[in-house]
Amino acid sequence: MKPIQMVDLKSQYLRLKNEIDSAILNVLESTAFINGPDVKFLESELNEYLDSKFTIGCANGTDALQIALMALDLHPGDEVITTPFTFIATAEVISLLHLTPKFVDVLPGSFNMDVEQLEATITENTKCIIPVHLYGQSCDMQPIMAIAENHKIAIVEDNAQSVGCNYTFEDGSSRKTGTMGTIGTQSFYPSKNLSCYGDGGALFTQDEALHDNIRMIVNHGSKKKYYNDVVGVNSRLDTIQAAILRIKLKYLDNDTSNRNSAAEYYDLRFKENELIQTPERSSNSTHVFHQYTLKVKHSRNELQTALGEKGIPSMIYYPIPLHLQKAYQTAGYSNGDFPVSERLSEEVISLPMHSELSQDQLDHICDSVNAFYP
Ligand SMILES: *Cc1c(COP(=O)(O)O)cnc(C)c1O
């Protein structure tokens, strides 16, 4: 059996090696390292894949979030709502821009924003909501979009973990995550579902004026070279990374289906075990299984150690909810404020999940988890 990885980038690379090597070599030959043709091609291929009007490449998913907030007309002290059960980047950019992060708890089943609690968190200072499509499933966007529209609030979808996920509205129509909000943001970090060989990110919008604004911000606030209209940033997707992403995008749906097969097998093997809860599937969202995350009744950390001893990596996403992080200790939150996130941080454990898992690896993982909870 091949060694088990959380994400097996090496096996994926070997499967696509010929295409990827030649795509990288082409960039080397062209020396168009910055804003080369592959960047534009990738942007239009992402538009097509996501049915999005505009895609703008940038340097990473955290930049994408920051640039999204810079592109909206926000002012210091404006409140931006997100959940405390996410990666730090989501809240970090809010604080960096001197905006105020406000948290709404998540649902224990989907791990996504509890929309019922959203309305009560909105004040006259609320200017933006950042729903995070966690682990590969969409937040319940229809009510979030209705609330945002009512209150004239922007939505920035943090789609770092859910590229390719589909959300279905009550009328039966559906949209890809990242294309429903005012702006959507993507990360192409190596462990993400659509990933490059370094850092990369993108923003999506359906609004031409916002697109123009974002293009200007990512390029030093400049439309015309050496004429700077606003204070911007330098955030670019490298041509080499775009060339790699163009290859991987062709295989994304196939990779997602491999992830789903692995998830279905995990479900099957754990469903009889009363000490383990398998991930819930939202009725109005597909799942792209960025993570396969169990909730366990007890001894989560001991399980992690036991799996490690059998050569099985696992991760805790996330061990400390954001409102209890040291970085946010002066934000006025305390233990007990977001009980669901706090409980989840003690119950969750993510198992190896990627497009290259073999049956013998899956069996070894399932046997080992079930043996720990007999
Ligand atoms: C990975 C991730 C980011 C940040 O992406 P980077 O490319 O690493 O900057 C932001 N939000 C979420 C939810 C993520 O998982």
Q: How many CA atoms lie within 13 A of 290 on its CB side?
A: 24
Q: Do the strands 183-187 and 201-205 form a parallel or antiparallel pair, or are they unpaired?
A: antiparallel
Look at residue 230 in the predicted model and tell me its pLDDT. 93
Pair of tokens at residue 215: 């293009």
Would the CA dihedral through 218, 219, 220, 223 be positive or negative?
Answer: negative
The protein residue with its alpha carbon nearest to ligand 1, atom 2, reads 160
Expressed in angstroms and rounded, the spacing between residue 266 Cα and the centre of ligand 1 is 25
Taking only the tens place, the pLDDT of each residue in 36-78 is 999 999 999 999 999 999 999 999 999 999 999 999 989 999 9
Q: What one-character-per-residue DSSP string does 143-175 give? A: HHHHHHHHHT-EEEEE-TT-TT-EEE-TTS-EE
Expressed in angstroms and rounded, the spacing between residue 180 Cα and the centre of ligand 1 is 19
Q: Which residues of the chain have pLDDT under 50?
A: none
Ligand 1 atom with minimal separation from the 60 CA: 7
Indicate the DSSP class of residue 105. Answer: P
The protein residue with its alpha carbon nearest to ligand 1, atom 5, reads 61
Expressed in angstroms and rounded, the spacing between residue 193 Cα and the centre of ligand 1 is 12
Look at residue 231 in the predicted model and tell me its pLDDT. 95
Expressed in angstroms and rounded, the spacing between residue 29 Cα and the centre of ligand 1 is 31
The protein residue with its alpha carbon nearest to ligand 1, atom 6, reads 61
Look at residue 261 in the predicted model and tell me its pLDDT. 98
Pocket of ligand 1 (CB under 6 A): 60-62, 86-87, 89-90, 132, 158, 160-161, 187, 189, 199, 201
Look at residue 328 in the predicted model and tell me its pLDDT. 93
Ligand 1 atom with minimal separation from the 134 CA: 13
Nearest of 138, 352, 368 to residue 259 by alpha carbon = 352
Look at residue 73 in the predicted model and tell me its pLDDT. 85
Instruction: In whole angstroms, give the CA distance from residue 80 to residue 103.
Output: 8
The protein residue with its alpha carbon nearest to ligand 1, atom 7, reads 61
pTM over 0.95? The answer is yes
Taking only the tens place, the pLDDT of each residue in 149-174 is 999 999 999 999 999 999 999 999 99
Look at residue 331 in the predicted model and tell me its pLDDT. 87
Expressed in angstroms and rounded, the spacing between residue 158 Cα and the centre of ligand 1 is 8
Expressed in angstroms and rounded, the spacing between residue 68 Cα and the centre of ligand 1 is 14
Look at residue 138 in the predicted model and tell me its pLDDT. 98
Q: Spell out the residues 6+ positions from residue 90 whose beta carbon is closer than 8 angstroms to its own.
A: 65, 82, 83, 130, 132, 158, 322
Ligand 1 atom with minimal separation from the 189 CA: 7
Expressed in angstroms and rounded, the spacing between residue 156 Cα and the centre of ligand 1 is 14
